[in-house]
A = this chain, B = another copy of it.
Amino acid sequence: MATPEIYVHRTLDCGVELAALPLPGRRTAAYEIRVLAGLVHEPAERLGLAGTLEETIDKGTQRFTAQQLTDAFDAIGAQASSRVGRESMVFRCACLPEYVEQALELHAEMLRRPTFPEEFCRVAVDLGKQELTALEDDPGELSRRLIAPHAYGPILGRHEHGTVETLESIRRDDLIEYWRRTFSARRMQIAVGGAVDVDRFAHRVEELFSGFGDGATAPDNDYRLEFSPGVRHQMKELEQQHILICWPGLSMTHPDAPIEQLVLAMLSDGMSSRLFVEVREKQGLVYWVSAWDEHPRQAGMLFMGASTTPARCEQTFRTLLREVDRLGEDVTEEELRRAKTGIIAKSQTHGDITRARVSELSGDLFHYGRPMPVEEKNRRIEAVTINDVRRYLNDNRRDKLCVLTLGTRPLEGAVA
């Protein structure tokens, strides 16, 4: 096996927290800039503001028009993208190693000196409204949007496009106010990886972001998850019936988090996973079934979802919950071994992809406050025993559930 990888972790004088993973053999470099500015930082009467900002921040800067800026990225073949989340916004870039500093300069220009031209703000609001309309035609996305306020509460459960009313109320001044309040070097984490000279890159970050946003407030982390159990149905003329079930899980930093990860893998990862085999392959109950986790910074939420016919809705619902219980009863050593092998093999094959490594590093900074080497993660997975799995499933009962069905038929009986 290759020599252990060296992770770098520094807080720069300018305030940016930097993590780096040099991978000298690669023909690629990638970085991810995370600004601790997300949906939770929106004023309650301006929901959709963070998403609108993410859509408009590249639409003109003091130095460039929108077209010039995107042309400049394209001219060096840099693939830039961005995404807004509950608690942060990420700006990603992958490019040839020789252009990584040029790309970073463009990002600095975009983040520090946006002009938010009026006409682009209007277009962004229009596009947001169209996304909300499109959501109505996408039952999978729609059901996730509908369950979020019940699963997470009114703040962590926000949606990136807000509502039609709050979107329409957004003006250029709101974008500027949000940007001033939340964009600053002290609220930035940068992860970089691939064929980069870390000292040089760090030096460039220092130069480019020094003095950025000294007026912005310090980051705050007190957005509490507010879970509201209950069974809810949204009537919609669909051919299928969507079911979502969720309940609070562990935060990424909880000592039992690796156990939870293995439980999810046994339920839903790979062709031999329980949900896939029992619910889809054996019973043919659903054409889609899955279990997954989501992680706000200090919390966790576990989900199971399925898409089935209205007639099979009750049976699918019961089977999903039964499969989780059954895992605590008859999990085997071989099954646990396969789940470990799967997670560890994926960490290796996945490790191939520079961008994926950088995203993981960025997530490590966000959740753990430091890079966590792959070897350390894999050791934690290896250490889990079958008794840990039984104990976890016993300690973390599914006795308070948040359930959402979307389609023509509500679930019958008080099931949750």
Residues of B contacting A66 with CB < 8 Å?
277, 281
Interface check A27, CB cutoff 8 A: yes
Interface residues of A in 342-379 (CB under 8 A from B): 342, 344-346, 348-349, 351-355
User: In the complex, which residues of chain B have a beta carbon less than 8 angstroms from the beta carbon of A286?
Assistant: 130
With A136-B239, A284-B127 as contacts: A28 and B309 at CB distance below 8 Å: no
Bound CA span A328–B158, Å: 45
Chain B residues, CB < 8 A from A11: none
Q: Would you call A131 and B78 a contact (CB within 8 A)?
A: no
- CB < 8 Å: which of B59, B270, B280, B353 contacts A74? B270
Chain A: number of interface residues, binned into ranges: 35 or more
A361 to chain B, nearest CB (A): 16
Chain B residues with CB below 8 A from A28, complex form: 348-349, 352
Contacts of A95 in B (CB 8 A): 345, 349
Interface membership of A271, Cβ < 8 A: yes
Which residues of A in the span 253-293 have a Cβ within 8 Å of any Cβ on B? 270-272, 277, 280-284, 286-288
Asked whether A334 is an interface residue with its Cβ less than 8 Å from the other chain, the reply is yes
In the complex, chain A residues 104-148 whose Cβ is within 8 Å of any chain B Cβ: 120, 122-123, 126-127, 130-131, 133-134, 136-139
| A130 and B279 alpha carbons, distance in the complex (Å) | 14
Query: In chain A between 47 and 93, which residues have their CB closer than 8 angstroms to a CB of chain B?
Result: 58-59, 66-67, 70-71, 73-80
Of B122, B239, B342, which one neighbours A133 at CB under 8 angstroms?
A: B239
Q: How far is the CB of A290 from chain B (nearest CB, A)?
A: 14
B120 touches A281 (CB 8 A): yes
Q: How far is the CB of A415 from chain B (nearest CB, A)?
A: 23
B137 and A239 contact, CB distance less than 8 A = yes
**Which of A95, A96, A120, A286 has the most B CB atoms < 10 Å from its CB?**
A96
Interface centre among A66, A74, A131, A240 (most CB of B within 10 A): A74
Q: Is the CB–CB distance between B240 and A341 below 8 Å? A: no
Nearest Cβ distance between residue A280 and chain B, in whole angstroms? 7
Residues of B close to A308: CB separation below 8 A = 130
Q: Determine the distance from Cα of A287 to Cα of B353 in the docked complex, in whole angstroms.
A: 30
Q: A74-B339, A79-B270, A137-B239 are in contact. List 12 more A-B contacts (CB 8 A).
A: A58-B271, A67-B272, A73-B270, A74-B270, A74-B272, A74-B342, A75-B334, A95-B349, A96-B345, A96-B348, A96-B349, A127-B280
* A/B interface sample: 14 pairs, CB < 8 A: A1-B27, A28-B348, A66-B277, A66-B281, A70-B272, A74-B272, A74-B339, A75-B338, A76-B345, A78-B345, A122-B284, A127-B287, A130-B284, A130-B287
